[in-house]
């Protein structure tokens, strides 16, 4: 430190504001004045509470030395969430936003550390709903060991958005020597998933109530960082990880096949599905391979490591139904094929449209 350098001071904790005493959000809550500050402090800052956020600056200030303790590369991701409905069996938009961002970091081999949260709120939205979602985000972040350290709030007029949209960004650190990527798949490699597929998509569609279908399916929304950590510890030969969100398993497999210029073959009988989800899809004419997941990963490992990887996944609470579902082949490059339960084969293409909009 030179004589001109200012002394280091801990962030000054601001006094709590008045809070919001109205039942619904108004346009004044997005105006940048006292009403907005009260909303931000009452709904978000009070529950996201941490030392970095406490300064309430326009940016989060993070020590590079602290980041370097965890690895040699920074992982940075962003995502937006517009799910309808905002609350559903197994989660809500807040839990979904934190888990989705944590998962996008950890499937790259990163240790998730810091998140941002920006909220676009429709005028007239219930304050009680906002508080529940903010609390859900805080609880999910705490359980995942990450801190929500910065954010933004905007309020738009009625009809300009549907109650609440969230945007998050995440920062994590990748340890030295770890290299995961869709380009690394080779013929002979094995493909695994950590459990039953399509639960999130089915749960969201049922929660909308349009079809009046009763189902006990709940979203698989979960932060997968500890599962991924256990897998990488037990099986350092892992080549690729990806969470199978929008577009489901089929989309991830097509991305691997294209990036690595290989073929992929999966076995329908080995692919884990909840019987209720399977029946749900049969009734509605949906393909469960394309349904969204929020707690499932696709894993590619060398054949020699396949059983070790499956056992590591199955030993974790989020991987009890882990299964080896297929293999990487020599080609044709870019083609994904399923061996059906009836003994035939069908091509599994990349999804052209969207089976279910606003699923996450």
In this structure, what CATH number is given to the domain that contains residue 326? Answer: 3.90.650.10
Q: Which residues pair with 190 in a beta bridge?
A: 301, 327
Q: Are 174 and 180 in contact (CB under 8 A)?
A: no
- Whether the per-residue pLDDT at 223 is higher than 90: the answer is yes
- Whether the per-residue pLDDT at 162 is higher than 90: the answer is yes
The phi and psi torsions of 232 (rounded to 5 degrees) equal -65, -30
Residue 280 placed within a domain: yes
For 67, the token pair is 């980041």
Q: Are 256 and 185 in contact (CB under 8 A)?
A: yes
Same domain, 197 and 162: no
- Whether the per-residue pLDDT at 7 is higher than 60: the answer is no
**Mean pLDDT of the 335-352 span:** 93
| End-to-end CA gap in the chain | 48
**What is the pLDDT at residue 141?**
98
Is pLDDT larger for residue 78 or for residue 216?
A: 78
Residue 93 placed within a domain: yes
Q: What is the pLDDT of residues 113-140, one digit of tens each?
A: 999 999 999 999 999 999 999 999 999 9
Q: Are 27 and 131 in contact (CB under 8 A)?
A: no
Give the pLDDT band (50/70/90) at residue 214.
Answer: confident
Q: Which of 174, 208, 230 is the last residue of a domain?
A: 174
Computed over every residue of the chain, the mean pLDDT equals: 92
Same domain, 148 and 190: no
CATH number at residue 114: 3.30.1330.10
Same domain, 219 and 70: no
Residue 357 placed within a domain: no
Q: What is the pLDDT of residues 133-160, one digit of tens each?
A: 999 999 999 999 999 999 999 999 999 9
Same domain, 105 and 207: no
Q: Which of 174, 198, 220 is the last residue of a domain?
A: 174
Q: E strand or H helix at 347, and its extent?
A: strand 345-347
- Provide the domain count of the chain: 2
Residue 352 placed within a domain: no
Same domain, 160 and 186: no
Residue 5 placed within a domain: no
Same domain, 287 and 337: yes
SS3 299: strand
**What is the pLDDT at residue 213?**
72
- Whether the per-residue pLDDT at 348 is higher than 50: the answer is yes
**What is the pLDDT at residue 354?**
72
Residue 343 placed within a domain: yes
Burial classification of residue 2, based on how many CB atoms lie within 10 Å of its CB (0-12 exposed, 13-18 middle, 19 or more buried): exposed
- Virtual CA dihedral for 45, 49, 53, 58, nearest 10 degrees? 0
Residue 54 placed within a domain: yes
**What is the pLDDT at residue 17?**
55
Q: What is the pLDDT of residues 298-329, one digit of tens each?
A: 999 999 999 999 999 999 999 999 999 999 99
Concatenating the DSSP letter of every residue in 144-212 gives: HT-EEEEEEEEEE-TTSSSSEEEEEEEEEEEPTT----GGG--TT-EEEESS-BSHHHHHHHHHH-SS-
Nearest C-alpha neighbor of 281 from the set 170, 205, 169: 205
Same domain, 189 and 78: no
- Whether the per-residue pLDDT at 4 is higher than 80: the answer is no
**Mean pLDDT of the 18-25 span:** 85
**Mean pLDDT of the 206-234 span:** 90
SS3 annotation, 36-58: HHHHHHHHHHCCCCCHHHHCCCC
CA distances from 22 to 153, 203, 216, 323 (A): 17, 32, 35, 50
The C-alpha atoms of residue 325 and residue 191 are separated, in whole angstroms, by 6
Q: Which of 158, 174, 190 is the last residue of a domain?
A: 174
Of 46-50, 57-61, 90-94, 353-357, the poorest mean pLDDT is in 353-357
Same domain, 119 and 264: no
Same domain, 203 and 329: yes
- Whether the per-residue pLDDT at 288 is higher than 90: the answer is yes
Same domain, 146 and 190: no
Same domain, 34 and 107: yes
Same domain, 170 and 203: no
CA distances from 208 to 59, 346, 356 (A): 37, 31, 11
Range of the domain at 322: 182-347
- Whether the per-residue pLDDT at 71 is higher than 60: the answer is yes
Q: What is the pLDDT of residues 324-334, one digit of tens each?
A: 999 999 989 99
SS3 124: coil
Of 99-103, 153-157, 209-213, the poorest mean pLDDT is in 209-213
The phi and psi torsions of 116 (rounded to 5 degrees) equal -110, 160
SS3 337: strand
Residue 64 placed within a domain: yes
């Amino acid at each position: 430190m030179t004589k001109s350098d200012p002394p280091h001071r801990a962030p000054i904790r601001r006094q709590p504001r008045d809070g919001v005493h109205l039942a619904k959000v108004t346009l004044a809550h997005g105006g940048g004045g006292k009403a907005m500050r009260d909303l931000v402090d009452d709904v978000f800052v009070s529950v996201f509470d941490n030392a970095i956020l406490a300064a309430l600056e326009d940016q989060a200030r993070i020590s590079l030395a602290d980041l370097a303790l965890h690895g040699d590369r920074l992982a940075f991701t962003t995502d937006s969430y517009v799910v309808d409905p905002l609350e559903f069996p197994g989660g809500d938009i807040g839990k979904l936003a934190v888990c989705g961002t944590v998962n996008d970091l950890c499937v790259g081999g990163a240790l998730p550390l810091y998140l941002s949260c920006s909220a676009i709120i429709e005028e007239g939205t219930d304050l009680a709903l906002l508080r529940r979602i903010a609390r859900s985000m805080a609880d999910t972040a705490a359980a995942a060991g990450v801190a929500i350290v910065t954010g933004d709030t905007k309020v738009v007029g009625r009809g300009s958005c549907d109650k609440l949209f969230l945007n998050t960004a995440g920062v994590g650190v990748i340890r030295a020597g770890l290299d995961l990527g869709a380009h690394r798949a080779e013929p002979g490699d094995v493909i695994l998933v950590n459990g039953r597929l399509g639960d999130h998509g089915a749960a969201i569609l049922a929660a909308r109530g349009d079809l009046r279908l009763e189902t006990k399916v709940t979203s698989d929304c979960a932060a997968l960082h500890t599962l991924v950590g256990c897998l990488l510890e037990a099986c350092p030969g892992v080549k690729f990880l990806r969470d199978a969100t929008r577009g489901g398993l089929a989309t991830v497999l097509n991305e691997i096949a294209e990036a690595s210029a290989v073929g992929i073959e999966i076995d329908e009988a080995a692919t884990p599905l909840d019987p209720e989800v399977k029946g749900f899809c049969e009734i509605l004419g949906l393909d469960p391979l394309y349904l969204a997941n929020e707690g499932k990963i696709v894993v590619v490992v060398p054949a020699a490591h396949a059983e070790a990887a499956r056992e590591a996944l199955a030993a974790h609470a989020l991987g009890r139904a882990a299964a080896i579902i297929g293999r990487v082949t020599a080609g044709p490059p870019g083609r994904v094929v399923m061996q059906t339960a009836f003994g035939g084969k069908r091509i599994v293409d990349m999804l052209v449209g969207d089976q279910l909009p606003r699923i996450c």
